[in-house]
Amino acid sequence: MAGTYTFTIIKPGAVANEHIGPILNVINTHGFHISAMKLIRLRTAQARKFYEVHMGKSFYDALIEFMTSGPIVVIILEKENAVEDYRKLIGNTDPTKAEEGTIRKLFAQSVQKNAVHGSDSDENARIESDFFFSKSERFSIFDERDF
Ligand code: ATP
Ligand code: MG
């Protein structure tokens, strides 16, 4: 069975451009429940760890620089089939290829400054949520608390 939560980040560019509220509005109007949320600034070591699968790629150093450049909003979202549905809602990594109405089409500035992150699997949703939130910071709308 598909998981019921995913993890997202509103990235520094979108925070700096005052897109927190508008992005949360899109998220809520598409049926996602916010079950954890905070505004933080990533330390370099945290950003390197979070994006370690991309270590060695051409864009890695610039990505770390960008993700640590200012505050971000980290959020756990709940919905049936959350990971897949949220990936659809955020759209393609490259905003020029993202469909109309997607968060990246609406708010991304570039491939790097693409407004939001979204977990790409249930396993990564769990790892990423645990990376930023303790149990006492999470408030599930579902009965079975599998986190
Ligand atoms: P995310 O993991 O942030 O949800 P994604 O899964 O759509 O995005 P990934 O391939 O995992 O895309 O890349 C992680 C992030 O690295 C992208 O969101 C983007 O900020 C940056 N990135 C990816 N490809 C490039 C690129 N070619 N040039 C610059 N930055 C890139
Ligand atoms: Mg990714």
Q: Which ligand is nearest the CA of 117, by number?
A: 1
Judge contact between 71 and 59, C-beta under 8 A. Answer: no
Instruction: Name which residue sits closest to atom 12 of ligand 1, judged by CA.
Output: 93
Q: What pLDDT is attached to residue 146?
A: 53
Please indicate whether residue 120, judged by its CB atom, sits closer than 6 Å to ligand 1: yes
Please indicate whether residue 63, judged by its CB atom, sits closer than 6 Å to ligand 1: yes
Identify whether 54 is a catalytic site residue: no
Q: At 2, is the pLDDT very low, low, confident or very high (cuts 50, 70, 90)?
A: confident
Q: Is the pLDDT of residue 147 over 60?
A: no
Catalytic residue among 30, 33, 54, 117: 117
Domain segments of the chain: what residues? Answer: 5-139
Please indicate whether residue 12, judged by its CB atom, sits closer than 6 Å to ligand 1: no
| Distance between Cα 121 and ligand 2 center (Å) | 9
Judge contact between 5 and 77, C-beta under 8 A. Answer: yes
Q: Is the pLDDT of residue 6 over 80?
A: yes
Give, in degrees to the nearest 5, the angle at Cα 84 between 94 and 82.
120
| Distance between Cα 93 and ligand 1 center (Å) | 6
Q: What pLDDT is attached to residue 1?
A: 72
Residue whose structure tokens are 């990505």: 63
Q: What pLDDT is attached to residue 142?
A: 87
Q: What pLDDT is attached to residue 145?
A: 52
Phi/psi at 139 (nearest 5 deg)? -130, 100
Q: What pLDDT is attached to residue 68?
A: 98
Indicate the CATH number for domain 5-139: 3.30.70.141
Residue whose structure tokens are 């109405």: 101
pLDDT in tens, 83-136: 999 999 999 999 999 999 999 999 999 999 999 999 999 999 999 999 999 999
Please indicate whether residue 60, judged by its CB atom, sits closer than 6 Å to ligand 1: no
Rounded Cα distance, 94 and 62, in Å:
16
Across the chain, where does the E strand assignment appear? 5-10, 33-40, 72-78, 116-118
Higher pLDDT, 146 or 44: 44
Q: Is the pLDDT of residue 143 over 70?
A: no
| Distance between Cα 139 and ligand 1 center (Å) | 29
pLDDT in tens, 36-77: 999 999 999 999 999 999 999 999 999 999 999 999 999 999
| Distance between Cα 20 and ligand 1 center (Å) | 20
